[in-house]
């Protein structure tokens, strides 16, 4: 195996690349280099202007002027919109209000309370509220003594006792009626129905079943014989006879097994 790497040979492709490389270098020298030089000069000039002109101007001239302008505007706003109202409240309204309360409202209130409101309240309590309260208490006591207590003693208590007695009697009567109704229903309906079912309907049912089964089997046999005589087909074993022969070890014939009625079994 050859492990040496082959080196690209110089040929026509190298000449073509050299032919394009020379114009590119000329364009870069004539266009890109001047632009880059101008950009570097502008950048250096901008840094120089910011460092030695704009920043000192902003620090030592513009910021003090703006701070002074802001302080002036704030002072003018306070002077026009704040300080007049503060001075009005501090030097006029509050002292006037304090003087009015101390030398006018408080004495007038004390006079009114001492010579008008307090005597009026005492008079109202003594000659209006107290008599009205006593009258209401007397009316309540009189109503309790002469109306409520006699009404409770002579009307409500006997009425309650009568209602309780009537309720008790109604309960006794209702219980007696219910027992009588149950006994009547048991005697007039339950016992006759039981006797009819036991001694009439049950034997009749057994008799009907004992008569119906042989007749039904005989009719099936006759139908089978007629079908065999007319069409020559073998008689079809009745489904009930087939059902009786299922599971037995002996072959079942066409003759149905004799059935034993309930009275015969009981006999």
Instruction: Read off the pLDDT of residues 139-192 as tens digits, 9 standing for 90 and up.
Output: 999 988 888 888 888 888 888 888 899 898 988 999 999 988 888 888 888 888
| Sign for the pseudo-dihedral over CA of 240, 245, 246, 251 | negative
Q: What is the DSSP string of 208-239?
A: HHHHHHHHHHHHHHHHHHHHHHHH-PPPPPPH
pLDDT above 70 (res 217): yes
Instruction: Read off the pLDDT of residues 83-108 as tens digits, 9 standing for 90 and up.
Output: 888 888 988 889 998 999 999 888 88
Query: What integer is the mean pLDDT of 238-242?
Result: 50
Q: Do the beta carbons of residue 245 and residue 252 sit within 8 Å?
A: yes
Instruction: Read off the pLDDT of residues 35-45 as tens digits, 9 standing for 90 and up.
Output: 888 888 899 88
Per-residue model confidence (pLDDT) at position 257: 45
Buried b / exposed e along 216-234 (16+ C-beta atoms within 10 A): ebeebbeebeeeeeeeeee
Backbone angles phi, psi at 11, to 5 degrees: -150, -140
Mean pLDDT of the chain: 79
Query: What integer is the mean pLDDT of 251-265?
Result: 44
Query: What integer is the mean pLDDT of 117-132?
Result: 90
Lowest mean pLDDT among 56-60, 80-84, 113-117, 242-246: 242-246
Query: What integer is the mean pLDDT of 257-263?
Result: 43
Per-residue model confidence (pLDDT) at position 263: 40
Per-residue model confidence (pLDDT) at position 137: 93
* Alpha-carbon distances, residue 152 vs 43, 161, 260 (angstroms): 115, 12, 84
pTM: 0.32
What residues have CB less than 8 Å from 209, skipping those under 6 apart?
261, 262
Residues 162 and 203: their CA atoms lie apart, in Å, by 59
Q: 3-state DSSP call for residue 262?
A: helix
Residues 132 and 126: their CA atoms lie apart, in Å, by 10
Residues 265 and 210: their CA atoms lie apart, in Å, by 11
Of the two residues 49 and 239, the one the predictor is more confident about is: 49
Of the two residues 19 and 202, the one the predictor is more confident about is: 202
Per-residue model confidence (pLDDT) at position 220: 87
Percent of the chain clearing pLDDT 70 (strictly above): 79
Residue with tokens 């079908």: 227
Q: Do the beta carbons of residue 223 and residue 237 sit within 8 Å?
A: no
Cα-based angle 36, 42, 48 (whole degrees, multiple of 5): 140
Query: What integer is the mean pLDDT of 220-246?
Result: 65
DSSP-derived letter for residue 248 is: -
């Amino acid at each position: 195996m050859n492990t040496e790497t082959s080196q690209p040979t110089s040929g026509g492709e190298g000449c073509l690349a050299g032919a394009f490389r020379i114009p590119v270098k000329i364009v870069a020298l004539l266009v890109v280099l001047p632009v880059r030089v101008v950009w570097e000069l502008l950048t250096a000039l901008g840094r120089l202007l910011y460092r030695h002109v704009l920043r000192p101007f902003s620090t030592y001239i513009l910021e003090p002027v703006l701070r002074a302008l802001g302080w002036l505007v704030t002072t003018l706003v306070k002077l026009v919109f704040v300080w007049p109202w503060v001075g009005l409240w501090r030097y006029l309204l509050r002292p006037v209000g304090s003087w009015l309360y101390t030398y006018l409202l408080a004495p007038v209130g004390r006079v009114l309370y001492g010579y008008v409101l307090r005597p009026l309240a005492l008079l109202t309590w003594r000659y209006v509220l107290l008599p009205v309260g006593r009258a209401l208490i007397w009316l309540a006591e009189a109503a309790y003594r002469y109306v409520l207590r006699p009404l409770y003693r002579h009307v409500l208590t006997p009425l309650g006792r009568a209602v309780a007695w009537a309720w008790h009697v109604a309960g006794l009567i209702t219980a007696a009626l219910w027992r009588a109704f149950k006994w009547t229903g048991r005697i007039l309906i339950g016992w006759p129905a039981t006797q009819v079912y036991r001694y009439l309907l049950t034997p009749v049912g057994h008799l009907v079943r004992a008569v119906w089964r042989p007749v039904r089997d005989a009719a099936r046999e006759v139908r089978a014989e007629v079908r065999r005589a007319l069409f020559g087909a073998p008689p079809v074993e009745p489904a009930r006879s087939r059902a009786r022969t299922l599971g037995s070890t002996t072959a079942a014939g066409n003759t149905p097994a004799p059935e034993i009625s309930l009275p015969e079994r009981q006999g």
